[in-house]
Every structure is written in structure tokens, then in C-alpha cells.
Amino acid sequence: MKLSAFASSFLFDPGKPRFRDYQTLLDSDETELPGLEANLEQIGEYQRRLWANQARAVLLVTHGPDTSGKDSLIRTLATFADPAGFHAWSFSRPKGAETRHDFLWRVTPFLPGFGEMVAFNRSHHEAVIAERVWPVHEPDSYNWQNRYCSIRNFETHLVEEGTTIIKIWLNLSEDEHRQRLLKRLDKPRKRWKFDKSDIDGWEKRRQYEAFAEEALAETHTEQSPWFIVPGDRKPQARAIVAAILAEQLQRLAPDYPKEDETVLKEYRRLLAKNGVK
């Protein structure tokens, strides 16, 4: 994956596997970030070009602790997206038929087709992060190294077949995480989101983060990299991810497909025949 210097500055570094080694809030003033609105417009334009060309696909994977802003990030990124070629899917704890298949089975039907951009709110990576904290099967039945290998092979296959994968970890500080949980109680429109599992997640935060750190280290590749994005201020996080996504879309679909002059000629003839000039 080709990256600008800006995007590269947020790449996961295998030499720094701990989230505490990365910023949760940028030191620089937000005005130094790429303009959010301009990049949202670029996302809309180049996503339409991606859809028109039907040659490549984009999969945006977003992860982070509860309250890290995954939903609002995806909503923002989709501001100018063409709904014909954009879809978003959310994955919670596996249940029902999902538990009776291999862990990649449930995400496969929702992968982007050629021309599509798809955003995952959580993903197949939950199978090596959350599922280690809250097992779906007997704990001793898991082989985590096999799962890491399966994810690497799965993503390599997707990339080689034409899908660009952008994986985002929203890095949230403990204090900001606490404040956002409290806000869910203070704001009526957010109370519906509150669940007792949020408290369990808070209590197991360190365990969850340790497994997430290991998962990112095991599944970060040159073809399918992880980006660690400061998550304490949502406007900063949105501006960063929008810039990364816009950059990749522009590389994948710089132009609309070339028009077919024969088709246009016939189109003009039919319009003229029907009195349209």
C-alpha cells in the first residue's frame, strides 16, 4: 500500500506494540490537520469514481474500545458517499449460526464487491480480541496463532484479488473512556446505548487492550496495515481517517471510465428521434 508521509505517521509500528506508546490526542492545533470537509468531498467524488469503474474495492475496518467513536466516524466518512456503492456493517458478539461456522464465515457475505466501499464497525478481528476476553466456545478449544494466520492469509487473498484494506484502531485514553461512559448516562439520547456489558468492558479494559495489542502486532502487514489514530478528540480522529481514506480512493480511481463513443452516438440518435434536442 502506497502512503503519504501524513498517513505513514499513523502506521502501527511493530517496534512499539503498546497503545500507550501512541498518542490519544495530537499535540498540534487541529487547524494543522487536513481539512475534514475537503477530504469528505474527496471521498464522495472518488468513491463515485470507484463505483463507476467497478475494478477495485475498499474495506475500511474500524476498531477501538466501547465509546471510541466508531459509529460517528463511519457516519461522518459517508457524508458525501453514493449509497449505491457504499455500505456499513456492524459486528457484535457471535451468536446463533455464526458460532457454528469458522470465525471468518460471518463477515464474508458483507465484503465489498468491485466498485464498492464497505465500512466494518468491528470485524473478523473481534475473533482474536473480544473473543479472548468473552469466549464463545470452550476456552481451551481456541488456537490463537492459527486464527492470526487465517486472518493474515484471508486479508492477503483479498488484497491480491483487488480489495484495499484500511484498518483503524481508535486509541482512547482511560480518562476519556471514563468520561464518555458517564456521558451516556447524562445524555438521554445516548442512554439507549448503555448496557451492563459496557461496565464489564471497562473493568476488563486492560485485559482487552493487551489482547488487542497482540492482535494488531500479529495481523499488521505491509499489504494490510493498521493505523493507530488518536481517539480522545473525535474531530481530530475524523480528520485523520478521512485524509487516509481519501488518499487511497484517489489512488484507486483517479478518473471515470472512458466513454464509449458508439454508445453516445446511439444515445444522441435515440434522443433526437424522440424529439429531445
**CATH node for 5-274:** 3.40.50.300
* Residue 188 scores a pLDDT above 70: no
Residue 233 dihedral angles phi and psi, to the nearest 5° = -125, 115
* Residue 30 scores a pLDDT above 60: no
* Residue 66 scores a pLDDT above 80: yes
What number is the average pLDDT over the span 212-235? 98
Q: What is the mean pLDDT of the chain?
A: 93
- How many alpha carbons fall within 13 Å on the CB side of residue 151? 25
Comparing 11-20, 107-116, 175-184, 189-198, which segment has the lowest mean pLDDT?
Answer: 189-198
* Residue 175 scores a pLDDT above 60: yes
Closest CA to 165 of 210, 212, 106, 123: 123
Closest CA to 49 of 19, 20, 18, 80: 80
Element (H, E) at 149: helix 144-160
pLDDT of residue 269: 85
pLDDT band at 34 (very low <50, low <70, confident <90, very high): very high
* Residue 28 scores a pLDDT above 70: no
Considering only residues 201 and 223, tell me which one the structure prediction assigns the higher pLDDT.
223
- Grid coordinates in use for 257? 471510465
Give 229-265 pLDDT, tens digit per residue: 999 999 999 999 999 999 999 999 999 998 888 888 8
Q: Is the Cβ–Cβ distance between 128 and 94 less than 8 Å?
A: no
Q: Which residues of 175-203 are buried (b: 16+ CB within 10 A; e: fewer)?
A: ebbeebbeebeeeeeeeeeeeeebeebbe
Q: Is the Cβ–Cβ distance between 143 and 37 less than 8 Å?
A: no
Give 115-138 pLDDT, tens digit per residue: 999 999 999 999 999 999 999 999
Distance from first CA to last CA of the chain, Å, rounded?
A: 47
* Residue 40 scores a pLDDT above 80: yes
Task: Tell me the percentage of the chain whose pLDDT exceeds 70.
Answer: 94
Comparing 12-21, 27-36, 60-69, 245-254, which segment has the lowest mean pLDDT?
Answer: 27-36
